Amino acid sequence: MELGPEWVEWGLLGLFLASFLAATILPFSSEAVLVAMALGGWCGQSLLVVASVGNTLGGLTNYAIGRWIPERRLVKRLGIGSEKAERWRSFAQHYGAWGALLCWLPVIGDPIALALGVFRTSFFWTAVLMFIGKTVRYAVVLWTMHAAIGS
């Protein structure tokens, strides 16, 4: 998906949708929308909250998919070998909900959220820790942008 002006024109709803979609398996950069809006004079705190909530809800959608689809079916559907499935199981059992702090990572964040759902980590703690990780990431993006432009 490309970053078009409509995402920014839609305001906070556009940022919410972009952030939500970026946390799913769709290749999308919510950071670009966030930065464009921050440069456009939007309130940084509002942007941070909306992007974090949208991205967390998108990540929790992956968690829910993992939770609701039986492990065997999901592993088969995604074409994951038994060795890789065992690595994800080990990760979820070792780190538990704490692994949700890493759900913001590109490429592996979505599989982490799926694995946390498949292996039934605590929904509450997964949601809280996922929100913290995603909020810190967006705060760093905003801080870096402000530092780069000197404001």
Residue-number span of the structural domain to which 27 is assigned: 5-149
**Quick check: pTM over 0.75?**
yes
55: number of Cβ within 10 Å: 31
Q: What is the pLDDT of residue 4?
A: 53
Q: What is the pLDDT of residue 49?
A: 98
**Residues contacting 110, CB < 8 A, separation 6+:** 23, 24, 25, 59, 62, 103
Q: What is the pLDDT of residue 151?
A: 61
Q: Which H or E run contains 89? A: helix 82-95
Q: What is the pLDDT of residue 1?
A: 46
Q: How many domains does the chain have?
A: 1
The segments of the chain whose pLDDT lies below 70 read: 1-5, 78, 151
